[in-house]
Structure 1
Amino acid sequence: MIVKITQVKSGIDRSLRQKKTLVALGLRKMHAVKEVEGTPQILGMIKKVSHLVKVEELA
């Protein structure tokens, strides 16, 4: 399963853990888009910052 992640809110004024999670997902700027494999580890990271990102499932 491929997942498309788009950052829709800023990481500014968030906890260090949330900022590092965004970077680990490959999202460094607002409206950045990244397509990643939907492994359990990636889905867990997405869940932790779900209020900052928009997720779409591809294929």
Structure 2
Amino acid sequence: MAKIIVKQVKSQINCPQTQKRTLVALGLKRLGQTVEHDANSAILGMVNKVKHLVSVEETK
């Protein structure tokens, strides 16, 4: 299965509570933090919800 690297590039200040909780569920707690996840439908849906706050990079 493919992996993706998710990095938080914008602050979560003034975002709705649901988007803040989505970032925490992805494992992102602070600006500039990077996490690696499997590219399954649940993770991709969460990334899509906060796509304006994160950058996504695909790995092998």
When the two structures are superposed, what TM-score results if normalisation uses the length of structure 1? Answer: 0.98
Structure 2 unaligned residues grouped into runs of 5+? none
Runs of 4+ in 1 over 3 A off after TM superposition: none
Amino acid paired to 2:14: D
Distance 2:14 2:29 in 1: 15
Aligned residue number for residue 5 of structure 1: 6
> Aligned pairs, how many?
59
Instruction: Supply the RMSD in Å over aligned alpha carbons.
Output: 0.4
Aligned residue number for residue 42 of structure 1: 43
Distance 1:34 1:48 in 2: 16
